[in-house]
Amino acid sequence: MSKIFTLDDVEKLAHRRLVEAGASSEAAASVARSTRRAERDGLRSHGLLYVPIYAEHLECGKVASSAVPAVTTPRPAAVCVNAANGFAHPAIDAGWTAFTDAARACGVSALSINNSYNCGILGHHAERLAEDGLIGLCFTHAPASIAPTGGKRPVIGTNPFAIAVPDGTGGARLVLDQSASAIAKSEILLRSREGRAIEPGWALDARGQETTDADAALKGSMIPSGGQKGFGVGLMVEIFAAALTGANLSAEASPFSGPKGGPPATGQFFLAVDPSAFAGDAFSASMDRLIASIEEQEGARLPGQRRMDNRRRIDVEGVTVDDALLARIEGDGA
């Protein structure tokens, strides 16, 4: 059995459950907005599916329920936030105004977050920058799940990066969000929950053999997208999101699922660029030509187009939530 939720329902459910698990109302609101956006875009693996994990981690101490982000500005265009082992979302919110103001004043600025946690859909943070009229380039890392080319021991996480470009009217003209792995690990978690096989080329089991068994994949490692090139992208993200922020390296971070280990103390690093400081109106005209060269080709799709299609559909149809997931969110399920 399942129920249809509006996006408001999704946000209210996530907020209530996180507060019940010990989060402050402000922190819960920030995470609940992220949950809403994930469900709105059809990215179920980062939506309500994650709420029981968030609640468990609040209750076991992997996320500090009393965390208060501390913001510093060591340089005019550098904003640093210590998330104090709390959620990443309120830490990002805490530094946002100083970060975007600095980008407009200096042309470029950076926001560094450390001692934080999973930040949800990375592309949504880049899109938020685009909505503020800025080009957003964002990095986040995750507990190690990808081994280097030729190796077997995971060193980096799925380590996504995202870029978004403003459309000049308060929205995003383009959002690109991709990880170093062939697929997000949360998608494998979703398949495991639903008892479904994963696709070939997604993951290896604990013996280093390719597998389509989601449970075996969760005990093994992820396959990098594009082989050694994917690992290289993940390594670049590791440098920005972990080494540059002073966070734990991916290999030092506790898992984003399950109660084992203390706070993961991972990091995020965001860059904001004001296009008017460099190319002026020429930037928008160049983006129009670039995007037209893709859209004019029959069958070609812009990165992120599927999310936008889902967004329009789900705004009307709502979100289907099965009873088993609702039970897990309420703490009544396995």
Residue 36: Cβ within 10 Å count: 23
Rounded alpha-carbon distances, angstroms, from residue 311 to 51, 304, 330: 20, 11, 26
Q: Which of 34, 45, 116, 254 is catalytic?
A: 45
Active site residue 112: no
User: How would you write the chain as a 3-class SS string?
Assistant: CEEEECHHHHHHHHHHHHHHCCCCHHHHHHHHHHHHHHHHCCCHHHCHHHHHHHHHHHHHCCCCCCCCCEEEEEECCEEEEECCCCCHHHHHHHHHHHHHHHHHHHCEEEEEEEEECCCCCHHHHHHHHHHCCCEEEEEECCCCCECCCCCCCCCECCCCEEEEEECCCCCEEEEEEECCECCCHHHHHHHHHHCCCCCCCCEECCCCCEECCHHHHHCCEECECCCHHHHHHHHHHHHHHHHCCCCCCHHHCCCCCCCCCCCCCEEEEEEEECHHHCCCHHHHHHHHHHHHHHHCCCCCCCCCHHHHHHHHHHHHHCEEEEHHHHHHHCCCCC
Chain centre to alpha carbon of residue 211: 25
Q: Which of 11, 30, 34, 46 is catalytic?
A: 46
Active site residue 56: no
Active site residue 45: yes
Q: Which of 57, 187, 225, 257 is catalytic?
A: 187
CA distance 137 to 110: 10
Residues with catalytic roles = 45-46, 187
